[in-house]
Amino acid sequence: MRRKGGALSATFDTKAEAEAWAIATEAKILAGDFAETVAQGPVAPASGKAAKDLFTRYAKEVSPGKRGGRWEEIRIKMLVRRYRLFDRPITAITGPDMAEWRDKRLCKVSASTVNRELCLISSMFTHAMKEWRVGLTLNPCALITKPRKPRSRTQRITVADREAIISKLGWDGTSEPMSSRQWVAFAFYLALATAMRKGEILSLRWSDIDFDARSAHLDMTKNGDDRDVPLSKAAMTLLRIVRKREPTAPVVPVRTGHFDKLFRDAKREAGLSQIHFHDSRREAATTMAPKLSNVLELAAITGHKSLSMLQIYYKPRAAELAARLDA
C-alpha cells in the first residue's frame, strides 16, 4: 500500500484479512501517523469476535432502551441468521462487503427497507467501535452509498374510503366498540381526527386524556419528546362514545400485531390495499392546515420538528388550493 510517498506491505491468508489491514493502516496514515505505523510493522490479521456475536449483544444491551427496540431485535435476529457475512470477525468486514450485501438485499426488498437496515447495522458498528473497543477503526457502512430514497407517499383517504374500511371492520361509527375489529375502526377514526400515529394511539391510557383541557398527553413519541395533542370536537365525540375505564387501562385495548392484521384484512376486503393506516396522519394534517393560522401550529399538533418532514404530510389537492384562491 502506497500513501504520502511511503509504502507498506504485508501478507495474509485471506483477502478479507488483507482488506481489513489495508483499511486500518490507511486510516492511521491519513491521521498523520505514517512514521509510527511503519515502525510498528504490519498489524495482526483480522481476528476477534464475529460480527453476529456483537450484533446479538447489541440487541440484548442497547436495543431494549430504544423506542423501536422490538423492531431492532427482530431485525438483528434476521441479519445474523440469514447472512453469512456477519459470521466473520467484525474487523474483517469492509466497505465492498457491505456494498455487495446492499445490492443483494435490494433485489428482495425496497430501498426504504435497505436504508433502515443499513442505519441499524451502521449504529451497531459505531457502538462496537466506540464503546466495546473491538479493534475496529472505521465503520464500513460509512464507505458506501445508501440507496436513493423513493418518493414520499401522497395517498389521501376520502370519506368513501374510510366508510368502506370501517364497514368491513363491523363498526357503525357511533356505538361503543365491542370487538377487536371495531376497536381498530375506532382507532382509525381517532387517527383521522387527531393526526396521531398508530403507536401513539395504542400507547394512550385513560389517565392521559384530559377532558376538561381537551387534550391527550403523549409521554413518548417517535422523535423522543412528549407532546400534548389538542382534541377537536370530533375527537372528543369519539372518546365520549367509550365508557371510561381504569386510569391505567389502554384507550384502545388491542395488541399491535393483531391490530395490524385486522386493518390489513379490512382494507383488502374493501378493495383499498393501497391505503396504509399511517396515511390517516397525512389526511388529518392536510385537513387541519386550512383551519390554523400558521405552520407552527400544525407542527405543534403533529409533533414534526422540521418543515421538510411536515411537507411529507401536507398534501392538498390542486382543486382544494384553487378553491381557496377564489374564496
181 is catalytic: no
- CA distances to 221, 297, 299, 302 from 228, in Å: 10, 12, 12, 10
Catalytic pick among 116, 205, 278, 314: 278
Amino acid at site 19: E
- Quote the CA–CA distance of 70 and 5 in Å, as a whole number: 50
278 is catalytic: yes
313 is catalytic: yes
Q: Hey, what's the cell of 318?
A: 390542486
Catalytic pick among 102, 168, 197, 267: 197
75 is catalytic: no
In terms of C-beta distances under 8 Å and separation of at least 24 residues, what long-range contacts does 42-46 make, across chains too? 42/8, 42/9, 42/10, 43/10, 45/12, 45/13, 45/17, 45/20, 45/21, 46/16, 46/17, 46/20, 46/21, 46/88, 46/89, 46/91, 46/92
Q: Are 150 and 110 in contact (CB under 8 A)?
A: yes
258 is catalytic: no
Catalytic pick among 153, 222, 276, 314: 222
Q: Are 270 and 168 in contact (CB under 8 A)?
A: yes
Q: Hey, what's the cell of 138?
A: 472505521
The closest of 164, 121, 154 to 268, measured between CA atoms, is: 164
For residue 135, give the 3-state DSSP assignment: coil
58 is catalytic: no
Residues involved in catalysis: 197, 222, 278, 281, 304, 313
